[in-house]
Amino acid sequence: MARVLITSALPYINGIKHLGNLVGSMLPADVYARFQRARGGEVLFICATDEHGTPAELAAAAAGQDVRAYCDEQHILQRDIGAAFGLSFDWFGRSSSPQNRELTQHFAEVLEDNGLIEERVDQMVYSVDDKRFLPDRYVEGTCPRCGFEKARGDQCDNCGNLLEPTDLINPYSTISGSRNIEVRDTRHLYLLQTKVQDQVRAWVEANADNWPLLTRSIAFKHLDEGFIDRGITRDLDWGVPVTRGGQPRVGFEDKVFYVWFDAPIEYIAATKEWSDAGNGDWESWWRNDKGAADVSYVQFMGKDNVAFHTVSFPVTILGSKEPWKQVDQLKSFNWLNWYGDKFSTSNKRGVFMDTALELLPADYWRWYLLANAPEGSDTAFTWEQFQSAINRDLADVLGNFVNRILKFNEAKFGGVVPSGGEAGPIEEKLYADVSAKLSELTEQMEAIEIRKAAATLRALWVLGNEYLQEAAPWTAFKTDEARAAFVVRTALNLVALYARLAEPFIPFTAKIIADGVGETLAAWPSTDAKAELSRLPEGRALTTPDVLFRKVEDDRVAAWTQQFGGAET
């Protein structure tokens, strides 16, 4: 049985995530996890809240809370909203956990023992008005590479180059907007990435064929630009304490590890959290000398995280010289924008996960986002596209087929799977067409081509509607009840098949459909359509569910556009 480790980029702790965050990592990771489980794999799906760093401190202060209490509260909120969206994490951990503290301090020590960490007197940006050193993301200014005027102190979102805060031209504090800043000396630990760049390049070159083009292009871009040594400590209170030999490191008592050093380690630490809760052996998933060599490890993330996971984190893993499992496939996504612009809480632009569920059930959002996943390029959410996808795909195609055939069966065959009849030319063509689409869909799911897979799934639903139109059981019933019974039985088997195929995408609705035909959401189907469309036992009692999907009407779209923003606003 295949063992598949799946991790999603860690959502940051400061607030509920928006739909772009959801489709950029967590949601497609869930689809893949559900698919691999259905394929019979032993799956471990891990995620966690990313809780350290200045944003957490500032968000807690704004909420009038202690930072630990704030993170406790926000973690529960994010965990619960993820569950409401059907995200089937095996464990949803926390980067502030004791396990992550222990592992982060461990990696720092072994890296230093291997000559890859050294103390340096650094020059960092200090805000006189804020009375604090400013971490990378709280300094903005003009990018020295491309001239973008809102580059952050760690990365320019315009050209993608990794930066240091002191690289910025005309920097300012994003906390207060103050330009009354100066560069001061402070001592920090540096990870000597330059010493490991040849190993990282060799590792990337050996594995990049398994990665999508977006991931490969970003990885090689940063490799070709050359590594820089990066500071891995910060002048903050909230984070993993800097220690040596189990004791506070002299001179670093008021510092913590940089959030981008400890956050990726949380993938491992969250698995240890899962293990410590009595669920299994975490080392068998992460240590090659303990069985992890047989694990297939797949990561999901947005494109802005790729550089850290193909350059910086591999430095930590390779530099440790310990037998840690490394990623096999790194699936990255472009951005989902809001009418061509970014989601914005302050400007009330866009829909966030909690609010989305107040408007419509989770499967409506899951389907739209997955069918329009930003794989090849950035995509833009529009209410008009959302309305069209729900009405066209879910209501008119899938929902109509399921409700139509179950109601007809209830009226003409007493709500049980009818018997009699045999396959004819129409069915033979259906078997061939469905078999071809099953092969296509399975290959796309294995390759994690989410958008293509959604299109193929919809094509399968269309085949069912076309079959009903051509076979016309309501007409056959008047003259040849056995023929009508066979058509209905075939269509009911399509309903059962659709439930299994749709489960990774719309799990809540898939269960309702499966319940209606008395099935469980069992294993992923074979590509033998004739066998798959002969599974339901004759005589089984069925139930007709309520309308599966309500159409999104124009007046609701107009109201949502006014409330959340759109082209007009």
Query: pLDDT digits over 407-458, tens only?
Result: 999 999 999 999 999 999 999 999 999 999 999 999 999 999 999 999 999 9
Token representation of residue 557: 């779209």
Residue-wise pLDDT for 501-541, tens only, equals: 999 999 999 999 999 999 998 899 999 999 999 999 999 99
Band of the pLDDT at 347, cuts 50, 70, 90?
low
- What pLDDT, on a 0 to 100 scale, did the predictor assign at position 341? 84
Residue-wise pLDDT for 127-150, tens only, equals: 999 888 887 878 999 999 999 999
Token representation of residue 390: 């729900």
Contact 57, 18 (CB under 8 A): no
Contact 512, 545 (CB under 8 A): yes
- What pLDDT, on a 0 to 100 scale, did the predictor assign at position 346? 57
Amino acid at 27: L
Q: What is the mean pLDDT of residues 43-65?
A: 93
- What pLDDT, on a 0 to 100 scale, did the predictor assign at position 567? 62
Token representation of residue 18: 């928006």
Residue-wise pLDDT for 219-268, tens only, equals: 999 999 999 999 999 988 899 999 999 999 999 999 999 999 999 999 99
- Residue 373, CB half-sphere, CA atoms under 13 Å: how many? 29
- What pLDDT, on a 0 to 100 scale, did the predictor assign at position 136? 82
- Long-range CB contacts (< 8 A, 24+ apart) of 226-229? 226/194, 226/197, 227/193, 227/194, 227/196, 227/197, 227/200, 227/311, 227/315, 228/162, 228/164, 228/193, 228/194, 229/190, 229/191, 229/192, 229/193, 229/194
Q: Pairing between strand 3-8 and 295-302?
A: parallel
Residue 88 CA, distance from chain mean position: 11
pLDDT at 162 > cutoff 90: no
Q: What is the mean pLDDT of residues 379-383?
A: 94
Place of tokens 């193909």: 310
Q: What whole-number distance in Å separates Cα of residue 115 and Cα of residue 370?
A: 45
**Mean pLDDT for the chain overall:** 95
Place of tokens 């980029």: 9
- What pLDDT, on a 0 to 100 scale, did the predictor assign at position 122? 85
Residue 110 CA, distance from chain mean position: 31
pLDDT at 569 > cutoff 60: no
In 10 A of CB 190, how many CB atoms? 17
Residues of the chain with pLDDT > 90, as a percent, come to 87
- What pLDDT, on a 0 to 100 scale, did the predictor assign at position 298? 98
Contact 31, 504 (CB under 8 A): yes
Residue 452 CA, distance from chain mean position: 17
- What pLDDT, on a 0 to 100 scale, did the predictor assign at position 345? 59
pLDDT at 472 > cutoff 90: yes
